[in-house]
């Protein structure tokens, strides 16, 4: 269920567009909280936006709790995948790369979309944190292979030869 309106989505996008201009992180978080408060209490989208605001302003521990709550509340669509990616990044920053890796590996089993490269890129970072650099390079190359104008299949196959394993099989 989506309790947002096109106007709410536009105002949220407009606010996010100001993030880099805003030198007052707390004021930005407060403005996101005000928008989220327009939605029903416990709304998954509102929880996600609140988590993302905290994540973007250097409060990863708070962000993770809000991402978990948003996912538990049934967050759907692109925001669901973004929540997994962003929460995984925050977990890495909090010294929990194994949990980040587990979340991102599971995410690779979900239907493909425009965020596949981001999933693999953050998976590569988690692998580096775990001392699994060869697998990280393979994940990065698989992600990159999708965006090259040529040599896509060759690069993906070379990446698979570096570190075959779960999550890399769908590289073609």
Would you list the DSSP string of 55-102?
A: HHTT-HHHHHHHHHHHHHTT--HHHHHHHHHHHHHHHHHTT-HHHHHH
For residues 100 and 112, membership in a common domain is answered with: yes
Domain endpoint, select from 70, 94, 118: 94
For residue 98, pLDDT beyond 50: yes
For residues 136 and 68, membership in a common domain is answered with: no
Of residues 172 and 104, more confidently modeled: 104
pTM, two decimals, is 0.90
> How far is the C-alpha of 81 from the C-alpha of 66, rounded, in Å?
14
CATH, residue 82: 1.25.40
> How far is the C-alpha of 12 from the C-alpha of 132, rounded, in Å?
38
Mean pLDDT of 37-57: 97
Number of folded domains in the chain?
2
Only one residue has tokens 């567009």, namely 17
Contact status, residue 107 vs residue 77, Cβ threshold 8 Å: no
> How far is the C-alpha of 10 from the C-alpha of 170, rounded, in Å?
35
Domain endpoint, select from 94, 125, 146: 94
Angle at 160 between CA 142 and CA 128, to 5 degrees: 65
> How far is the C-alpha of 88 from the C-alpha of 124, rounded, in Å?
11
Q: Residues 51-82: pLDDT tens digits?
A: 999 999 999 999 999 999 999 999 999 999 99
Domain that holds residue 48: 1-94
For residues 113 and 45, membership in a common domain is answered with: no
For all residues of the chain together, what is the average pLDDT?
A: 92
For residue 1, pLDDT beyond 90: no
């Amino acid at each position: 269920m989506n309790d947002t309106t096109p106007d709410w989505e536009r105002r949220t996008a407009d606010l996010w567009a100001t993030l880099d201009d805003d030198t007052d992180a707390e004021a930005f978080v407060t403005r996101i909280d005000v928008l989220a408060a327009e939605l029903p209490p416990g709304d998954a989208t509102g929880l996600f936006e609140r988590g993302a605001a905290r994540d973007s302003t250097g409060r990863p521990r708070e962000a993770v709790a809000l991402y978990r709550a948003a996912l538990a509340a049934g967050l759907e669509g692109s925001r669901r995948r973004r929540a997994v990616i962003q929460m995984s990044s925050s977990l890495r920053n909090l010294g929990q790369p194994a949990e980040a890796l587990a979340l991102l590996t599971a995410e690779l089993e979900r239907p493909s979309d425009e965020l596949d490269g981001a999933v693999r890129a953050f998976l590569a970072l988690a692998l580096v944190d775990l001392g699994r650099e060869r697998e990280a390079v393979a994940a990065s190359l698989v992600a990159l292979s999708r965006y090259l104008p040529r040599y896509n299949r060759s690069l993906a196959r070379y990446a698979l030869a570096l570190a075959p394993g779960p999550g890399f099989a769908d590289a073609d």
